[in-house]
Structure 1
Amino acid sequence: MRDIFLLIVMLASIPYTLKRPVVGALMYAIFSLMNPHRMTYGFAGTFPFVMIIAVVTLLATVASKEEKKVPFLPVVIQLLLLVFWVTLTSVFALNSTGAWDEWTTVMKTMLIVVLTIAVVRTVNDVKALVLTVVLSLGFWGFKGGLWTIATGGHNGLLGPPGTYISDNNTLALAMITSIPLMVAAASFAPTKWTKRAAIGVAVLTGVSVIGSYSRGALLGGAAMMLFLWLKSHSKLKTGLIFALVIPLLLVAMPPAWMERMHSIDNYQQDASAMGRLNSWGFAINVANHLPLGGGFATFTPKIFQIYAPDPTVFYVAHSIYFQVLGEHGYIGLFLYLLLLLFAWRTGSRIVRKCGTNPEYAWAATTARMCQVSIIGYMTAGAFLAMAYYDLPYYVLAILVCLEKVLFIAPQPDNTPPLRLPFLSRSKQQRDAWKRPEAAAAPRKR
């Protein structure tokens, strides 16, 4: 039944995608981030939903008469430079077959991110993009939070199999990165109830992070809460919430969770931690010997025999930084860090341009929360090989699209926005989506 439902949803989206390519970009984000097809038990598990959506969206973008614009901001230029560099390193990769397979996967992500930036044209498009990301990962956060509460935190969490977020650690990183976006969605929620719903999902997602038993997520969550508090308009209120809620959640967790978190202090006795140090040493050795790095898929037992400090112990990179360093060298790591820096500066520029204009308050909040997401990703990602995960690149796309639609290429008044009634604030505005002729008519008292 789930398989048929997903197929119907995908097919139903095609006419809308042909009319407005941004619909296809949002559908791609849903299947890429939520992975609903991985929760089925029939043909949908292997059906090429993502490929079909991508092809239809690309064709619709080429055929559409809508204006497509990719603003060449520093962060976009930096993304293209990174794409060029990882392509160059793939040519000289140590593991040629695995490198080109990984290159194909990464380039799909990069292409859809650039395509999303091009087809997002209106304020409502940007809000829809934020909501799509929030709902896609909020599903797992909501589900995981309820599961953690129901089991008392005794059972860990797992994501959809065969995806970037299949295990507890990677799922926790995705949750950490998405929580600030849920706060951003609350800033432009049309009613108090939808705002409370967004905050409620954010809280449950925070509970799911704690219930994941991920030590990297614990550190990422701490860093993110610090910056979330710094970016908050009401620091006293936010600080009191953190001070009251977080200790209660930690105390409620079972002894096994406490033991897992305390193992951070005893990393010398932790085989996993020592294995990570060996992998990081491997990445440094590869970068020192090969200016281009080893290329994609360098972390293999065979190559470990050559460059690892202890060739008998094999672990994957377990860090976005050492993953990029080992695969693309010091120049690749520099380009990657510069991309994150430019994304951060894009957020700061948006906040500065929004100023105190109340009409742009939601945009300023969204930009700040994207910055908090970047901090959470960079902190938790220091212990996970998630350098090419889709979510941080969608955060980048949200920032670029925000600046594009507000300050670079504001949408003309006569251009129809994406019709999403729940994005409009007042009842009169929501009625206008359903019956445009009612917008000009005076409301009866």
Structure 2
Amino acid sequence: MRDLLMLGIVLGALPFALRHTWIGILLWTWISIMNPHKLAWDFAQNAPWAAVVAGVTILSLFTTRDKLNMPWEPPVKVLFAFVIWMCVTTAFAFYPLISWEQLNKVLKIQLMTVIAFAALRERKHIELFIWVNILSIGFYGFKGGLFTLRGGGAERVWGPPGGFIEGNNELAVALVMVIPLMNYLRVVATRPWIRHGLLALMLLSAVSVFGSQSRGALLAVSAM
């Protein structure tokens, strides 16, 4: 059932992603961060969902009627310089095979980041992008918070298997990063049930941070 649900969501969203690049960015972000396919039990687990969505999103650059504009602000230039520097340092790495493999992964992510810069142009695009991020990570914060409260913090909270936030440290830091974004959406929300829901999600995510037993995240949440 979960596999069919995943298939239905992606196939249903791809035509819209082909027409609107920003929808492709949102879909790719959801799959890449939340790893919803890893919650399935059959064929969806190992299917290349992110690659398919990325391909359609890149194709949409030539089919969309939306205006795309790269913001050449200083932070964007710094990011480009950083990517170039990563390529230079990889060329002189002690372990070239491992380093080039990692660089290949990083460059794919940076490519989608650049497309996001050009596609997410309006306030609604940015806020939807924030929603995708906080719900993708907040899902595990919600689960982890309840898990910690139920068990009294006796066991660690872990992220989705096979993802960038699989480890307890990675998940905890990601939660620390999105809690302020949750608060932003709570402040700008006009409906009380959304504000209350986001407040509850913030609290459970904070509990999940402590439940991860991550010392680095403890320092980060103290600074936050």
Q: Same fold (TM over 0.5)?
A: yes
Q: 2:131 aligned with 1:134, yes or no?
A: no
Cα distance in 1 for partners of 2:166, 2:127 equals 28
Secondary structure of residue in 1 paired with 2:62: helix
Q: Which has the larger radius of gyration?
A: 1
Amino acid at match of 2:20: R
* C-alpha RMSD of the superposition: 1.1
1:239-266 CA deviation, whole Å, 9 max, x = no partner? xxxxxxxxxxxxxxxxxxxxxxxxxxxx
Shift of the alpha carbon at 1:173?
Answer: 1.0
How far apart are residue 65 of structure 1 and its match?
2.4
Aligned to 2:64: 64
- The separation in 2 between residues aligned to 1:167 and 1:41, in whole angstroms, is 21
Q: 1:97 — aligned with what?
A: 97
Cα deviations across residues 27-48 of structure 1 (Å, max 9, x unaligned)? 0110111111112221111100
What amino acid maps onto 1:38 in structure 2? K
Cα displacement (A) at 1:111: 1.0
Percent identity, please.
Answer: 36
Q: Return the alpha-carbon distance in structure 1 between the equivalents of residues 22 and 149 of structure 2.
A: 37
* TM-superposed deviation, 1:62: 2.4
Structure 2 residue runs of 5 or longer lacking an equivalent are none
Give the equivalent residue in structure 1 for 2:214.
Answer: 214
Distance of 1:154 and 1:92 partners within structure 2: 44
How many Å separate the matches in 2 of 1:19 and 1:170? Answer: 34
Residue matched to 1:164: 164
1:40-439 equivalence runs, <5 A: 40-224=40-224
CA contact (8 A) 1:168 1:214 kept: yes
Instruction: Give, in angstroms, the shift of residue 152 of structure 1.
Output: 1.3
Shift of 1:90: 1.7
Q: Which runs of 4+ in 1 moved over 2 A?
A: none
> Is contact 1:30-1:136 (8 Å) kept?
yes
The alpha carbon displacement at 1:121 in A equals 2.4
Q: 2-side partners of 1:165 and 1:134: how far apart?
A: 13
Distance (whole Å) between structure 1 residues aligned to residue 107 and residue 198 of structure 2? 32
Q: When the two structures are aligned, how many residues end up with a matched partner?
A: 224
Distance 2:190 2:31 in 1: 26
**Cα offset, 1:60, TM superposition:** 0.5
Using structure 2 for the length normalisation, give the TM-score: 0.97
Secondary structure at 1:162 match in 2 = coil
Q: Secondary structure at the match of 1:150?
A: helix
| TM-score calculated relative to the size of structure 1 | 0.49
Deviation at 1:96, TM superposition (A): 1.2
Q: Show the counterpart of 2:16.
A: 16
